[in-house]
Structure formats: C-alpha cells, structure tokens
Structure 1
Amino acid sequence: MDIRTGRRMLMLAISLAATGADDRPDLPPGITAVAAGLPAGRPLSLRVGGRVVAEGAGFRRQWPGSYAEARFHGPAVSLAVGPGDVSLRVTIDGNPPLALVRPAPGLYRIATPGERDHDIRIQVVSESQAGATSIAGLYAPVGTTPLAPPPPRTRQIEFIGDSHTVGYGNTSARNDCTQDQVWATTDTAQGPAGTLAAHYGADYQVDAISGRGIVRNYDGFAAPTVPQAYPFALLDGKTPDRTAGWRPQLVVIGLGTNDFSTKLKPGERWTTREALHADYERGYVAFVRQLRRRYPGAFVLLWATDLADGEIAREAERVAAALRRDGDRRVAFVPVAGLRFAGCHSHPDVADDRAIAAALGKVIDAQPDVWPIRR
C-alpha cells in the first residue's frame, strides 16, 4: 500500500461511538457518528507531553499544547474524550493530522490502514482558559494489542508566553475575527512552540495564556499574570503541579506584549510608564531566577517582537542584560522584526510563527552547549 492510499483509507476510517447514531453535519469529512455502546477495550500506555493532571487512563489539562503518544498493533484504536470544548489533531504514523473540533464527549474509534504496528499522537491545539478538558484515554478494541509507548525524546523545551506563544488565531486568513473564529483558527502545534520543537525533534511544554503579561495584563484587566499562574497544573490557582521527569535544556520566554501594548488607565498601580518599566524589569528578572532554581542548567532565551514602537523589545533586552550582569551566562535575548501580523486581531499567522521559530533557532544554534548529552 502506498502512502497516498493509506492516507485516503485513514481519512475514511474514523468513526465515533458517542451520543448519536446518525452522521453529524458538524463533523468534517471522514468522521461519522455511530451508535453508542461499543466497548472501549484495554487501555494503552500513554506518553504525555505538557502540563496535565493524571486521571485514570488519561489526563485533565488546561495549559495549551498538551499531547499524548502511544503505540499499538492492529486495525483500530479508540480515543475517549471527556467534556469541555477542545480542538484535537489525530496523527497516525506521521500522516497529515485529522481534526476533531469540539468533539462531543464519548468514544472515537479510529481505524488504521494495515493491521500492523502503529504510532498515534493526539495533540491539543486550542486554548482552554474557560475550563479544563480531559482526554480519558486511548484503548485497544478487540483485535488490537497495546504496545509500549514511545520513549521520551532526548531534547526538551519549555515555552512560556502569551497569545503569540499560544498561536492565537494563527491559521486565520483575516484580522477581523469573532471569538468563535479565534478559537477555531488557533493552532498551538503550528505556532512557534510546536514549530521549533518539531525542528529539534524535542518534547515540549507550553505555559502560555493569551492576554497575560509579567506584571500587567492586556489593557490592565484583572487576572493572574503568567508568573502568578505558572506554579499550578491548571489555571485554577490551586491544583499542584506534579510533573515528573521534566528537565528542559531550553526555556523560551516571550512576555511583555500585554504589559506594554496598551496605555495605562486611571486606577492602575503605575502612575507613569517609567514605573511600569521598572516593575516589569524587576518582575521578569525575579521570574527567570525562579525558573533558574527549577532548571539550573537550562539555557534561557527571551524574545520579543518590534510592536509598540520597540518598547517591548527594549524592555525584554534590559531584563536579559540585567540577568547577565548578575552572573547568569546562560541567557540571551532575540529581537524578532518584520512580521506580517496577518492572523486574528493582528496576531502572528503561521508564516510569522515559522519566522519566529527561525529567529530563535538561529540563536540556539549559535550556542555551543544548549543540548548537553544526558547520561
């Protein structure tokens, strides 16, 4: 069977055991709803990327960019999806991903081309600020045998940021978007995090929230900033982070757009722009030092675009300089200029995301020891 035939078979072979027995017009071609009640089968062992909370055979998550990988032998596998709005991409054996957008809670049966060993990846590409969602597990139906999951990748990258890191509306062909359109066109896997991680063959974790900053959120709205939300596994400010085995060699941070892209308003705690600058610099330095205690050997890469007449980039560069003056030699700053901002609400689009990843990669490749050999 050639690759094109396998892809066509895969496109025609996803069926859903969920709430209804009729074809659902909201599902894309190749995905059909069938009667509920199919047995799930034996659970597959998952290798999970991103910040999640283990739950039964699956996990609950809210930070973007989470993914699960597994292996099995046989003609089909079943994916159990819990409640909550989520956009998923299902990749089998490296073929182009198939979209499950806002799937109803239930069991999705995925038939595969060829009764042989298969690799599957379930990737969350949407943002979930409104609430946590869950992947309830992958299962082997009758005729399928679970296999050991793929081993962790040698390289690990952690991305911390705002909507630019999330990939907010990056697949949109227009700037003017409704909130539903933003949600539908956000693809973290095609954002700078997913793009750079794929380039280096790395596992990755995305700690990013649209609209949030280091000390100030967009237009001064009240909500936890990224450093305040960072310690927790969910965006509830209370669920402890128990991520094990995560030791990134590289931490990439893009924060400051929301701190500086809007004017200060009456009632905010900064009376001048200079006071905001000083607070941002102190807060950013303290946050990087916190990360340094967590990941002592990691290389830390700060980046910023040239928005706000260069104010964001100037401030982020000052933070990197302050850290180096304090003796941290494993830190660098990357300015990113010349983006189109053709995505939703003048955000980077996929072409911009590739340009961001390329700019970061150029600096990463210039460092002699970002990827030390682990023993």
Structure 2
Amino acid sequence: MHKQISEENVRLLGRCRMAEDGIVFNWTGSGILFRFYGTAAAIMLEHSEPNLAEWIPFLSVRVDGGEVRRVGVGNSALLPLCMDLPCGEHVVSVTKSSETGTYPLKIKFLQISAGEQQEAKLLPPPELPLRRIEFVGDSITCGFGNLGTAEQTSFLTAEEDGGQSYAGLAAAHFNADSRMICFSGRGIVHNCDGTTDSLIPQFYEKVLANEPDKWDFSKWQPDVVVINAGTNDDGGGYTSGDEMREGAAQFLKRVRECNPNAHILWCYGLMTTRLEPVIQEAVALAAETDDKIHYLALTPIALAQGEVGTCGHPNVRAHRRAAAALIQKISEITGW
C-alpha cells in the first residue's frame, strides 16, 4: 500500500521542505518519524548525488526504539526499512546520517504492508519530545570521520555518523527534538580554504544549505542553541583575531534575534584553540547584557589519547568525551 507523505501523517525531523511529491531533506539528523500498523515498511527515495562510493548518502533507520541500522543509498530506489515484523503497531525513524551534500534527498512516498490476512494502516505519528536543542557548526558537528581512523586521509560518508557526534549523543541523552545545521569546512568569517561563500551565518538562515529559501524561525523555537564554530576560521589561517571577534559577536546577535528565548552556548577547542581568546571575548561581551549566553571550552583531541579519526577529526571516543562535557553544561544552565 502506497501512502503519500504529508505533515499530518509523519513527523518531520530537522529542517525539511515539503514538495508536491514528497519531503526534501539533507541536513544531518533530518528526516521523518512515522507510525504504522503492519509487518513491513519501505520508502521511495529519490536523489541525484554522484554515484561514487565515497560520497553516497547514508541514512540511519530505527524501528521501535531498537538498534540503529545505517544504510548507504547509491541510487534512487525503493528502500526497505523493516520487514517480517509481528503484525501490529510500529514506530520507524529515517534520518540523514551523513552530512548535507550538493543535492538534497526526497522521500516520495511510504509503502506499508501487513501480509495477506491484515490491512496495513498509516497511523497518527508519535509526538516529538518537548525539549528542543539546535546545533550549529561545521564538520565536527556533522561527525566527519568519527567512524574512521587516524590513518585515513580522505573523506568517506561511510565513516561519518551524525548520530554519534557530540551533538547526536547530547540530544539522545536529553531525549530532545534536535536540529543539526552543519556543513564541513565552513567558518564564521572564512571557510577553511579562505572562501566566504556558504559561511555558517549564511546557511544558518536557510531551509536547506544549497537552496535559496529562507527558514521561518517561528516554526520551531529551541530551548538551547549550541554553536560549535571557529575551527575552520582558525585552521585555514585566513581569519584574524579582530575579524573573528567581530564575526562571533555579530553571529551571536543574529542567533539571539532568531531565537529570543533560547540559551545560546558557544563551544570550541576540540580541534584548534588559536581563536579561543577572541571567541571568549565576544561571548563574554554579549553575556554582559544577556544572561542566557554561555561559553564551553572543549579540551583538544591533541591532548588526549586515541581520539583522532579521519583527516585529524575527532573519532567517536572524542565525541563521547565532548558530549559528556556538553551534557553537564546544558544541565547546569537549564536545570534538565
């Protein structure tokens, strides 16, 4: 049985765009959550990413709160999510595990079945958690290379899992409805290669990173916004201290305008630390008139053992450590 998708019969996870023929999504952790009566479910997935093994999108599929199954999607196809389940009610989530790419994905419809003796039904979707956390950042937030090893020197989507990034782990700890607005190589003032297109403050305001449509912040207001940025401004060496201080101050101002009541927490230091003093200055200045703005220093992976993954990025062990520090800080400022 085919079922067209709408905001009435599925829950949208993360920033997504409704199209006439489905749901378009691409941010890390974005996708859908649905509930059905039956024994099996699948989605018709459409995408036009280059069909290269190292770049194929990866999805995370979870059924009835069980173990997460990661699936690489090489082509547009009918993708089985679960099968041979006991006939009854089941809850399924499908989210993007790898980061935003050049082209978005589209779920065109659901296919559900219940065997020969029963009728499959798409049921009202579950309610989302009340707590809301938004994560904004670069490759660290994406989980770039967190499944890889220090010897791996090229990016593979198979080695990137946003669900096991510090952001995904912290969101899971708090059972929070989360958004991960992140893109590798991007900075506040300059990207890692010195360019100034698709900077974090620019894509933060978009529905999808590579489309022009602006996000309507009134649709979803977080309790906490976590910013993890400055690594690419630092690592590329193109951003001066003065530029970073001003860039951070302006971004904090804009994030506050978009989220009037949220705690805003800037964390930094997992990979680089050169710009930490000026980021701290920008945060401290903003906090003088806004007691919901905070800073969290993260210990660099270079000072720890066994925490380096692909291309010098944090591995899962490092992300777990960072998540623990973040969880403690969020608990302190929110009382959760």
TM-score range, shorter chain: 0.7 to 0.9
Name which of 294, 305, 310 aligns with 1:332.
294
Contact 1:88 1:122 in 2 (8 A): yes
Shift of the alpha carbon at 1:236?
2.8
Which structure has the higher relative contact order (CA within 8 Å, separation 6+)? 2
Q: Which moved more, 1:112-121 or 1:230-239?
A: 230-239
Q: Which residue pairs with 1:121 in the alignment?
A: 93
Contact 1:306 1:313 in 2 (8 A): no
Shift of the alpha carbon at 1:138?
2.5
Shift of the alpha carbon at 1:370?
5.8
TM-score in terms of structure 2 length: 0.88
Distance 2:3 2:223 in 1: 38
SS at match of 1:219: coil
Shift of the alpha carbon at 1:219?
3.2
Quickly say closer, same or farther: Cα 1:221–1:176, change in 2 above 3 A: farther
Name which of 19, 25, 28 aligns with 1:55.
19
Backbone CA RMSD of aligned residues? 2.1
Shift of the alpha carbon at 1:175?
3.8
Please list the CA deviations of residues 76-130 of structure 1 after superposition, one character each: whole Å capped at 9, or x if unmatched.
1121111134211111111112222024212234314211110101011112332
Paired residues, number: 318
Shift of the alpha carbon at 1:63?
2.4
Contact 1:51 1:243 in 2 (8 A): no
Give the residue type in structure 2 aligned to 1:122. V
Shift of the alpha carbon at 1:307?
4.1
Give the residue type in structure 2 aligned to 1:345. C
Q: Which residue pairs with 2:232 in the alignment?
A: 258
Name which of 230, 250, 253 aligns with 2:204.
230
Q: Which moved more, 1:329-338 or 1:153-162?
A: 329-338
Name which of 17, 20, 32 aligns with 1:68.
32
Distance 1:257 1:214 in 2: 9
Q: Which residue pairs with 1:366 in the alignment?
A: 332
Distance 1:283 1:50 in 2: 26
TM-score in terms of structure 1 length: 0.79
Quickly say closer, same or farther: Cα 1:298–1:112, change in 2 above 3 A: farther
Quickly say closer, same or farther: Cα 1:87–1:306, change in 2 above 3 A: closer
Q: Which residue pairs with 1:34 in the alignment?
A: none
Runs of 4+ in 1 over 4 A off after TM superposition: 41-44
Distance 1:157 1:136 in 2: 28
> Any gaps of 5 or more consecutive residues in structure 1?
1-38, 265-272
Aligned counterparts, 1:72-87, within 5 A = 72-84=36-48, 85-87=56-58
Q: Which moved more, 1:91-100 or 1:346-355?
A: 91-100
Aligned counterparts, 1:143-222, within 5 A = 143-179=119-155, 182-222=156-196
Give the residue type in structure 1 aligned to 2:158. A
Q: Which residue pairs with 1:9 in the alignment?
A: none
Check if 1:284 corresponds to 2:255: no
Distance 1:43 1:129 in 2: 23
Select the structure of larger CA radius of gyration.
1
Q: Which residue pairs with 2:51 in the alignment?
A: none
Quickly say closer, same or farther: Cα 1:260–1:232, change in 2 above 3 A: same
Quickly say closer, same or farther: Cα 1:71–1:243, change in 2 above 3 A: farther
Distance 2:331 2:68 in 1: 29
Quickly say closer, same or farther: Cα 1:71–1:306, change in 2 above 3 A: closer
Distance 1:363 1:67 in 2: 28
Aligned counterparts, 1:235-314, within 5 A = 235-236=209-210, 238-242=212-216, 245-264=219-238, 276-305=240-269, 307-308=271-272, 310-314=273-277
SS at match of 2:125: coil
Check if 1:343 corresponds to 2:305: no
Shift of the alpha carbon at 1:248?
0.3
Distance 2:109 2:275 in 1: 41
Contact 1:170 1:348 in 2 (8 A): yes
Shift of the alpha carbon at 1:51?
1.2
